[in-house]
Amino acid sequence: MELEKKINEWSILPITGNIKINPVDHYLGKPLVILFFNLGCPGCKGRAIPFANWLNIEYKNKINVVGIHTNFEGVDFSDQQLIDCKSEFYINFEYFRDANFNTTFLDYQAGGTPHWIITDEKLNVIYSIFGSDPNNALLRIDLKVQELLNNK
């Protein structure tokens, strides 16, 4: 889905008390990839989180990657489970909890989990896609990031 609008401010919460939450404008200057995920989602754990890790390594210092754990339906996960998932899934990007379980998820019009939002360096939303199929969503995300970086 092609979009053209500046990303809204998010409503996210820290998983622990010592995590700083930056406003969206903190990410100006580099493309931003946002992953909406849920620990109850097999596609998130098996493909999306590892792919976000890869993006953060492959494009280190060229893009920003942020995860938002959301719960648009079902059981929510405790802060401790969200803390533990960092080591379990080797998460190397910053991630937060969506306020009120799904505030930012709904505001950004995500379609489920995993859902990806990509912005340009001015934080204009340029791409939004649901899924974790390596031959569809993940390939499209990588191509869109490459396109953004090559157009600089």
Report the percent of the chain where pLDDT is more than 70: 97
pTM: 0.94
Q: Which CATH architecture has domain 5-150?
A: 3-Layer(aba) Sandwich (3.40)
Measured between its terminal Cα atoms, the distance across the chain in Å is: 22
d(CA 150, CA 117): 19
Peptide bond into 50 cis (omega under 30): no
Q: Is the pLDDT of residue 7 over 60?
A: yes
Domain ranges of the chain: 5-150
Cβ–Cβ under 8 Å, residues 15 and 97: yes
| Mean pLDDT in residue range 57-74 | 92
The stretch 106-123 carries a mean pLDDT of 95
What is the tens place of the pLDDT at every residue in 8-64? Answer: 999 999 998 778 899 999 999 999 999 999 999 999 999 999 999 999 999 999 999
For the beta carbon of residue 7, count every other beta carbon within 10 angstroms. 21
